[in-house]
Amino acid sequence: MTNNLDTVATTLYVKVDDLLKESPDLAPWRPVVGIAPKLSDAELVTLAVIQALRGFTSESRWLRFARAHMRHLFRYLPQQSGYNKRLRAAAELIRSAIRVLSMDTTLWTDDAWVVDSTPVECGRSKETVKRSDLAGWAEYGYCASHSRYFWGLCLHLACTLGGLPVGFALTGAKADERQPLLEIFHLDPP
């Protein structure tokens, strides 16, 4: 198990490091003067992707596992709060890295794609609707599959038959399902 994990981590690190060398603008902004991070952006993305591949939903459990089994691969592993802050700052880099990694798989060239949407309920009471910061984005809508009205957003997802996500969009609850799909493919043609 350790040899396979080491190989995956090393391969991911090299791939992400090459991506950052080709497109340095993907790296999160940092001031010119300051303390350099102990964990590089390529190492951070490697940790995040392996966390997802291993199925860890808890960051603290993941970091405990990484300290126990992957300490020899990373010279520094942050605490949970620092890891979370770095992940949030590197969201665009992680999205781009996952996109590059998924384009290397055979699933990416599938002929058939599946498109679906699901409601993302953001609140139930009228008071929540009035006080929510999502008031400009979320709206009332009807979900036929659940036979209920809800206040929130709608997540639209396009993926291959093997389950590889190709694109996604988050819209208001009343949005037509066809329009977000067209915008997904218009914004990212490849």
In tens, the pLDDT along 10-28 reads 999 999 999 999 988 888 8
pLDDT reading at 1 higher than 50: no
Whole-number Cα distances in Å, 68 to 10, 53, 57: 17, 17, 17
What is the per-residue pLDDT for 61?
A: 95
Return mean pLDDT, the chain.
86
In tens, the pLDDT along 112-131 reads 888 888 888 888 777 877 78
Cβ contact 59:84 at 8 Å: yes
What sign does the CA torsion over 88, 93, 96, 102 have?
negative
In tens, the pLDDT along 35-82 reads 888 999 999 999 999 998 899 999 999 999 999 999 999 989 999 999
pLDDT band at residue 111 under the 50/70/90 scheme:
confident
Stated as kind and residue range, the H or E segment containing 11 is helix 2-22
What is the per-residue pLDDT for 45?
A: 93
What sign does the CA torsion over 21, 24, 28, 33 have?
positive
What is the per-residue pLDDT for 2?
A: 56
In tens, the pLDDT along 128-156 reads 777 888 777 888 888 887 788 888 898 98
pLDDT reading at 88 higher than 70: yes
